[in-house]
Amino acid sequence: MSLRLASSAQCIKDCISFGSAVRIYRINYFSTSLKLPQSDTSGESTTPWYLRKDNTSKLEPLTHEKFPELPNDAPESVGNLVELLVKKYGLTNLKIYDLASLPLDHPKHVDEHSSERFTILASGKSEKHIYKASYELKQHIKHEFGYLPRLEGMTSNSISSRTRRRLAKRARQGPPATHNDFGIGANSWVRCELGVGGAVVHILSDDRRLELNLESLYEEDAPEQNFVPEPPRRSYEDTESVFYGLRKHLHTSSMLHNVAALRSIAKDCTGERSERSLAQYKNSFDSKFAGFTIDEWSEKFAFYKTLHLENPHLVTFTDVEQCLLSKHSCLKLLGEAADWNQEIVHDVIKYMELLLDTRESITGTEKFERLSIFISNITAFSRDEIHFFAVDKFQALLWSLTSDEYLPIDAARLHSILRTGEGLLPETHPIAQDPKAAQNVRELIRSINFSKRGAVPLWLREQMLYTYASTRNWSYFWKEWDMIQQSLNTASQLLHMQTKVIILLAVINDKIALRDFFCKFWDKGSSFSFMDQWEKVGASLDTKQEKIALKKALNMIQSNHGSSSWFENARIFATTL
């Protein structure tokens, strides 16, 4: 082949002269090159293409918020103010109320010459927008009228984020059910008392305006939710925007589908016992798990906990614990809009329940050591101070950790017996309690509750009482019982509590404890006696089922200790129920 190409090239060289070859090359070169247009002497060619009028896109007309209807007697200054709020400051959804036109018996009715005659409600696009509009409005009144208006609710930007966190931390000292951050949050509601034409302007965010529903104060027969905020238009919703499609939660549906798939695997695993089947379900779950949402991590913890309780060798305690720790160190959750302080509290409670539910043999001291290490790890990067003792369930679980297992009879079971009159069965299996851990937790709970609430709540005292009864720690039982009796104010409350104790002692069936109760707290010799409270409330209990439960408890005691002299009066009383 190389020989043939060489001979062909030699033949062409012999046939074509050098000058002819040059002419052929020039013809081929210019015939394949780009043909440039001829120069145009017009001025349009000298203008760059991006400055030519033909290539500029048409400008869309600038639209403002529609002006609301002004009241008939509104002065010109109010109209100018509304125009300023709409055109210059960009406020939306304006509503104007003439309080002088309200009925005379209306609580918001004012005189025609009042300095707060006209109320204007407006919405801002964001907290920063509300702050900016309020500040500019204040400066406008200052320069145009020569005085500063009165503004309420406008949080200055000069307050540092550290100061805001400190204020929020103080607000969390109280019960967590309130979640009241008014005054320490962003500028969500600013009231401007301008003194111009008797106008008072309220600038609110959409959420705060929907929550407060101020329209109902000025309108007769107004619906509960008069204001419906318009959803803001974002740049990624514009198909012509370069950010179209770059939505933050573009795959929300797939995430929800993934959570549903994980939940389905966990549901199918219910009832399985063989280690091989459980391992297959675990592998299937792990292959589906992505960890992009908090719900996925919650499903993983619940699934791993179920596997651990069923087969501790397949999923160890450490594996379940790592689910909670990995959730708080996962980079995929950085953009998740969640209250991480609340997530920490919830996960600590889940961990405490895991310590109580696990089948591994863990002593009381070791439980508290593990809990301490877990809380230290999970709160290592938290900037805020988290108040676990403000959550009632945390205190209840903390006290439960002093025992080696759950109480066989607790407040829930006693409540069920009193409500239905059924389930009154003896419990002969005592549980063990770490005395040192119980003492430390008891003093800690009392110290914190007395400093924050003034007293230990009754439900927590009851749990301690039931724990002492289940552990047969009667010395602490009677001490706690005396304090509970002194904290009750009415005869009906004391009678209800004594009925609970009778049922509790009947289920525990300790002869010494039963004798002490019926000798000290049954007859009229004591001011806290059962019969004394029985007569004060009119010889009746709250419900019929409660009376049935009491009679069954007394009959159970009679069947076990009916020949004892200390029970004779109670036996006679049971026949009258």
In whole angstroms, give the CA distance from residue 91 to residue 113.
27
Question: Packing angle between helix 364-378 and helix 317-328, nearest 10 degrees?
Answer: 20
| Residues 27-40: tens digit of each pLDDT | 444 444 444 445 45
Residue 7 has pLDDT above 70, yes or no: no
What's the whole-number mean pLDDT along residues 431-442? 90
Structure tokens at 202: 């309220």
Gyration radius (Cα) of the chain, Å: 39
Give the amino acid at 300: K
Q: DSSP 3-state assignment of 425? A: coil
Helical axes 491-508 vs 411-420, angle rounded to 10°: 100
Return the SS3 of 150.
strand
- The whole-number pLDDT of residue 320 equals 92
Predicted local confidence at residue 11, as pLDDT: 46
pLDDT bin (cut points 50, 70, 90) of residue 501 is very high
Place of tokens 């190389």: 2
Residue 226's closest CA among 205, 207, 204, 209?
A: 209
The pLDDT of residue 208 is above 90 = no
Q: How does DSSP assign 93-110, residue by residue?
A: EEEEEEGGGS-TTSTT--
Task: Give the separation between CA 373 and CA 355, rounded to whole angstroms.
Answer: 13
Which tokens hold the place of 256? 């929800």
User: Can you tell me which residue has the tokens 């002006």?
Assistant: 67
At residue 382, the pLDDT reads: 78
Given a contact cutoff of 8 angstroms between Cβ atoms, the answer to whether 556 and 426 are in contact is yes
Q: If you average pLDDT over residues 105-116, what whole number do you get? A: 78
- Answer yes or no: is pLDDT of 237 > 50: no
State the average pLDDT over residues 518-526: 82
410 pLDDT band (50/70/90 cuts)? confident
Q: What is the pLDDT of residue 479?
A: 92
Which residue segments constitute the domains of the chain, with CATH numbers given? 76-224 (3.30.460.10), 251-386 (no CATH), 404-577 (no CATH)
* Per-residue exposure over 25-60, b if at least 16 CB sit within 10 Å of its own CB, e if not: eeeeeeeeeeeeeeeeeeeeeeeeeeeeeeeeeeee
Confidence band of 316 (pLDDT split at 50, 70, 90):
very high
End-to-end CA distance of the chain: 121
- 298: nearest Cα among 327, 318, 257, 264: 327
Distance (Å, rounded) from C-alpha 178 to C-alpha 277? 46
The C-alpha atoms of residue 327 and residue 302 are separated, in whole angstroms, by 13
The dihedral over CA atoms of 501, 502, 504, 508, expressed in degrees to the nearest 10, equals 130
- Residue 469 carries which side chain, given as an amino acid letter? A
- Provide the 3-class DSSP secondary structure of residue 125: coil
Task: Count CB atoms within 10 A of the CB of residue 542.
Answer: 13
| 191, pLDDT greater than 60 | yes
Contact present, 193 and 149 (Cβ < 8 Å): yes
Q: Name which residue leads in pLDDT, 191 or 528.
A: 191
Q: If residue 491 lies in a helix (H) or strand (E), which one and from where to where?
A: helix 491-508
pLDDT-based confidence at 179, cuts 50/70/90? very low
Question: Phi, psi (5° rounding) for residue 505?
Answer: -70, -30
Pairing of strands 189-193, 150-152: antiparallel
Predicted confidence (pLDDT) per residue in 347-392, tens digit = 999 999 999 999 888 888 889 999 999 999 998 877 777 888 888 8
Question: Going edge to edge, which strands form the sheet with 118-123?
Answer: 92-98, 118-123, 199-204, 189-193, 150-152
535 alpha-carbon distance from chain centroid? 48
Report pLDDT for 550: 92
Task: Measure the CA–CA gap between 397 and 409, rounded to whole angstroms.
Answer: 15
User: Phi then psi for 173, rounded to 5 degrees?
Assistant: -65, -30
With cut-offs at 50, 70 and 90, classify the pLDDT of residue 185: low
Residue 118: which H helix or E strand, with range? strand 118-123
Task: Indicate the pTM of the whole model.
Answer: 0.56
pLDDT at 158 (0 to 100): 59
Residue 70 DSSP one-character state: P
**pLDDT classification of 115: cutoffs 50, 70, 90:** confident
**Which one has a higher pLDDT value, 50 or 366?**
366
* Mean pLDDT within 394-418: 88
| pLDDT tier at 455, thresholds 50, 70, 90 | confident
Mean pLDDT check: name the lowest of 317-321, 449-453, 487-491. Answer: 449-453
Whether 410 contacts 400, CB under 8 Å: no
Give the pLDDT of residue 506: 92
Q: What is the pLDDT of residues 243-287, one digit of tens each?
A: 444 444 434 555 666 788 888 888 888 887 888 888 898 899 889
More confident residue, 56 or 101: 101
pLDDT at 220: 67
When pLDDT is averaged across residues 142-148 and rounded to a whole number, the result is 89
| Cα-based distances in Å from 313 to 193, 275, 297, 360 | 69, 9, 22, 11
Pairing of strands 92-98, 118-123: antiparallel
Give how far Cα 43 sits from Cα of 53, 154, 158, 238, 253, Å. Answer: 13, 57, 55, 37, 56
Q: Among all chains, which residue has been given the structure tokens 């609580």?
A: 107
d(CA 121, CA 520): 68
Task: Kindly state the greatest CA–CA separation across the chain.
Answer: 143
CB contact set of 133 (below 8 Å; sequence gap of 6+): 85, 89, 90, 91, 124, 203
Asked if 289 and 296 count as a contact pair (C-beta separation under 8 A), the reply is yes
Element housing 496 (H / E): helix 491-508
CA–CA gap between residue 388 and residue 372 (Å, rounded): 13
Task: Record the tokens describing residue 433, joined without a space.
Answer: 């309690």
